[in-house]
Amino acid sequence: MNCHSCGTQLVSVITDLPFKLGKKRIVILKDLPVLQCENCGEYLLEDMVMAKIEDVLDHVDSSVELEILRYAA
């Protein structure tokens, strides 16, 4: 698959990404599998991974301002 921004090949990598859930809530997911552009750094989340992320984010503690979770496939 090629990058939508620059057309360069996307490669599978494992990375950490922050998700802002409100004005004062951030969840960092560690060890996420993404497709990342070798040239510009843009990334793509596959549908299966995004579904899992949505499930994880739906169940985080809403009283915590910052939470760091490990993604488990």
Residue 28 in domain = yes
Number of domains into which the chain is organized:
1
Residue 48 in domain = yes
pLDDT tier at 29, thresholds 50, 70, 90: very high
- 9 vs 3: CA distance, rounded Å: 6
Helices (H) then strands (E): counts for the chain:
1, 4
| CATH at 36 | 3.10.20
Structural domain that includes position 47: 10-70
Residue 3 in domain = no
pLDDT tier at 48, thresholds 50, 70, 90: very high
Give the mean model confidence (pLDDT) for residues 39-49. Answer: 94
pTM for the whole thing? 0.85
Give the mean model confidence (pLDDT) for residues 56-70. Answer: 93
